[in-house]
Structure 1
Amino acid sequence: MKVKEARYAELQQFLQANLPNVRGFSGALSVGVFYNAEQQDLMLFEEWLSKEHHQAYIQFISENGVMSQLLSFMQDAPVITYYGREVL
């Protein structure tokens, strides 16, 4: 996701306040934040017990306003991609 110009410091504060809620949501296994300052790209890497757990979380934050707050820092809406973990 592209972060809006000069908004990353505010976004950091928002994430610090809200990531404990994500990590405590039913089915959340882990959440990591990666940022490329040169490109102003943010990636949220999340592991969930199931796709359904994650979708329930997305619905919850869409209804309570957290998603719209997050999107206010971004140039575009996030692209969500689901992967299955492979054990090789």
Structure 2
Amino acid sequence: MSIWVTLEMTVRDGFYEPLEEFLAEKLPAVRGFDGALSVSILFDAPTSKLMILEEWKSRAHHQAYIQSITENGVMEQLLSFMTSPPDVQYYERVLI
């Protein structure tokens, strides 16, 4: 069973355009990481809220990815666009 991960954050004033360029450059690596099934970006301009919606094979796969981008500096770069660290939540799909 796969898991869904949401990362919710607020983009700093004036930083959305450079963030969009950054994400366009980095998202292919996310989508190609072992265990990644899908990644979508959602943005609400009036509130500057950004959500990253990801599906992974497992929580362990996602956590390995987070460790990798923490070690290589990509997480620090991502956080530079935000007002604070993201709120990360894990969900399992419920088939009803």
TM-score range normalised by the length of the shorter chain: over 0.9
Match of 1:50 among 48, 52, 58: 58
**Percent of aligned positions that are identical:** 53
Corresponding pairs, count:
88
- Of structures 1 and 2, the one with the larger relative CO (CA 8 A, separation 6+) is 2
The normalised TM-score by structure 2 is 0.91
The question of 1:40 aligning with 2:48 is answered yes
Answer yes or no: is 1:5 the counterpart of 2:17. no
Structure 1 position 17, deviation (Å): 0.1
What residue identity is the alignment partner of 2:83? Q
Name stretches of at least 5 consecutive residues in structure 2 with no aligned partner. Answer: 1-8
Q: Distance in 2 between matches of 1:36 and 1:3?
A: 10
Q: Structure 1 stretches (4+) deviating beyond 2 angstroms?
A: none
If each structure's strand is expressed as a fraction of its own residues, which one has the higher value? Answer: 2
Unpaired segments ≥5 residues, structure 1: none
Corresponding residue for residue 69 of structure 2: 61
